[in-house]
């Protein structure tokens, strides 16, 4: 059996694969032949798998996705062609939750802005950032965080802000059953507009779907407090980047941080990078050494299981 790893994964997962199957890696000149030779494929978020890929991959039995999001995989086409697709939900939840808090605090306390000033040799007046003057750094203690998407990551983020910062948690997720919602941290709000008006920090953890694409645009941002911070580590396209640029430019939003963009990687001249109150990272929220090692082994193990006739795990189709 032959497995093609089309996107980079941690070496631990590759070592596991090589003990079980023939492996072709993303940087091998033979990687382009996967449609003809692959029994199994591993992808992360770079390589899309479209209808024509599944139609032409005559030997393909299974796809194992490193990570949760499958918006770049045509699941209907996989189903039509009898290909099993799996993902690895929840494995990187702690890493993403940690990065969510890192980005929020960086934006609220103006850390990147101050760092750039220091590195460039410009004078830094403490009073501009310590709250002595208007526009200084924001704190989160005892304030309100709004979570959009209460899956594995959203729940961890809610719990961490509540426990460590004494924040009031409100959340919006129409896909959480009513019975299950009562067991979750904080207050459920079924009206997104009401949630937006209340929060000091908006933390987005929803998948990219037809319903969520562009769900945070100019109208939604205008409902938020001028002192609020917006953070998204979910998927590019959920937040309207043009509307976010306008809000940060005119001061109607205190700060924002994105780990995800509509175009990835974002261009160096992306308008948001010209805004001092914006913090950007290149879709790395899930990336720690620990999480990458563990996820690479799981994504490899469940693929090999299916190729050996097993049921696999985390099966989507």
Kindly report the backbone phi and psi dihedral angles of residue 43, in degrees, each rounded to the nearest multiple of 5, phi listed first. -130, 160
Closest to 116 in 3D by CA, of 97, 134, 129, 131: 129
Residue 264 among the catalytic residues: yes
Residue 66 among the catalytic residues: no
Q: Is residue 42 a contact partner of residue 86, using CB atoms and an 8 Å limit? A: no
Alpha-helical runs (H) found in the chain = 11-18, 34-37, 51-56, 75-80, 93-108, 111-119, 152-165, 178-181, 192-198, 218-222, 241-249, 289-307
Q: Is residue 22 a contact partner of residue 28, using CB atoms and an 8 Å limit? A: no
Of the residues 84, 155, 235, 292, only one is catalytic, namely 235
Residue 235 among the catalytic residues: yes
Of the residues 110, 156, 283, 292, only one is catalytic, namely 283
Q: What is the CB-side half-sphere exposure of residue 114 using CA atoms within 13 A?
A: 15
Catalytic residues: 235, 264, 283
């Amino acid at each position: 059996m032959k497995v093609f790893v089309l996107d980079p994964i941690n070496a631990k997962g590759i070592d596991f694969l090589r003990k079980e199957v023939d492996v072709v890696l993303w940087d091998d000149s033979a990687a382009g032949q996967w449609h003809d030779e692959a029994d199994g494929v591993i992808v992360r978020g770079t390589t899309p798998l479209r209808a024509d890929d599944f139609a032409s991959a005559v030997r393909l039995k299974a796809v194992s996705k490193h990570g949760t999001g499958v918006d770049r995989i045509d699941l209907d086409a996989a189903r039509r062609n009898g290909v099993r697709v799996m993902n690895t939900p929840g494995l990187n939840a702690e890493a993403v939750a940690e990065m969510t808090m890192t980005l929020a605090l960086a934006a609220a306390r103006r850390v990147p802005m101050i760092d750039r000033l220091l590195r460039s040799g410009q004078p830094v007046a403490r009073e501009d950032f310590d709250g002595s003057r208007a526009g200084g750094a924001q704190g989160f203690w005892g304030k309100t965080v709004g979570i959009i998407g209460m899956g594995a990551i959203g729940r961890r983020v809610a719990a961490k802000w509540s426990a460590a910062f004494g924040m009031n948690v409100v959340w919006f997720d129409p896909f959480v059953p009513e019975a299950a919602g009562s067991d979750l941290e904080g207050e459920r709000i079924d009206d997104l507009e009401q949630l937006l008006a209340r929060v000091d920090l908006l933390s987005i953890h929803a998948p990219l779907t037809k319903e969520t694409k562009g769900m945070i645009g100019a109208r939604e941002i205008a409902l938020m407090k001028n002192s609020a911070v917006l953070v998204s580590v979910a998927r590019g396209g959920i937040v309207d980047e043009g509307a976010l640029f306008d809000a940060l430019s005119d001061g109607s939003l205190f700060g924002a941080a994105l780990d995800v963009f509509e175009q990835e990687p974002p261009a160096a001249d992306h308008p948001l990078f010209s805004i001092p109150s914006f913090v950007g990272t290149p879709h790395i929220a899930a990336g720690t050494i620990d999480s990458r090692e563990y996820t690479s082994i799981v994504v490899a193990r469940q693929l090999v299981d299916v190729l050996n006739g097993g049921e696999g795990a985390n099966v989507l189709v």
